[in-house]
Amino acid sequence: MFNSYTENTLEYDEKLCINCRMCSTVCPHGVFSGGADKARLVNKKSCMECGACQLNCPTGAITVESGVGCAYAMMWSALTGKKEVTCGCDDDAGSCCAPTTTQLFKSER
């Protein structure tokens, strides 16, 4: 109950890897490391599910359910049964999901 971050949706199929090194380049948390002939998944627990590796893997060797982890949006969708809005970035400046009231009301559009 004190660590909800032990699991994530990142999956890597080494057989499909062509060692283009894109995943280790784009990952902001060093989850992948460039190996001799295949990329290596070295730090899976640090994955934040941003989806950059999946999007830039030309062979589809990586899958991850990416999304903006906005707690407000998730709670709102859980309460209303509406589809999860990505986040309130329409109104947002510095951070992705600073809590805003307008965000909640705007998501109803």
Partner 1 sequence: MVFNDTGYSIKTTTGKLTYGNRFDHILARLGYKRSKHSVEPGLYAIGTPAQDSPVFVSASYTLSFDALRSALSGTDAYILVLDTKGINVWCAAGKGTFGTDELVHRIESTGLKNIITHRTLIVPQLGATGISAHKVRTRSGFRVEYGPVHASDLPEYMKTRKATPGMRRVRFTLRDRITLIPVELFFVPLPFIIAVVIISLLGGLMTAAAVVTAILAGIVLFPILLPWIPTKDFSTKGFIIGALSAFPFAIWAFNTTHDASLLLRYGSALVYMLAMPSITAFFALNFTGSTTFTSVTGVRREIYAHVPTMASMLVTALTLVVVLVILRYGGM
Interface ranges with partner 1 (CB under 8 A):
1-5, 7-9, 22, 25-30, 46-52, 55-56, 58, 65-72, 74-75, 78, 86-87, 89-101, 104
Nearer to partner 1, 38 or 67 (CB): 67
Separation between Cα atoms, residue 2 and residue 22, nearest integer Å: 34
Residue 11 bridge partners (DSSP): 63
Chain-centroid distance of CA 89 in Å reads: 16
The least CB distance from residue 14 to partner 1, in Å, is: 19
Nearer to partner 1, 5 or 36 (CB): 5
The least CB distance from residue 21 to partner 1, in Å, is: 11
Instruction: Kindly compute the dihedral angle of the four CA atoms of residues 72, 30, 10, 80, in this order, to the nearest 10 degrees.
Output: 0
Separation between Cα atoms, residue 90 and residue 101, nearest integer Å: 13
Nearer to partner 1, 39 or 70 (CB): 70
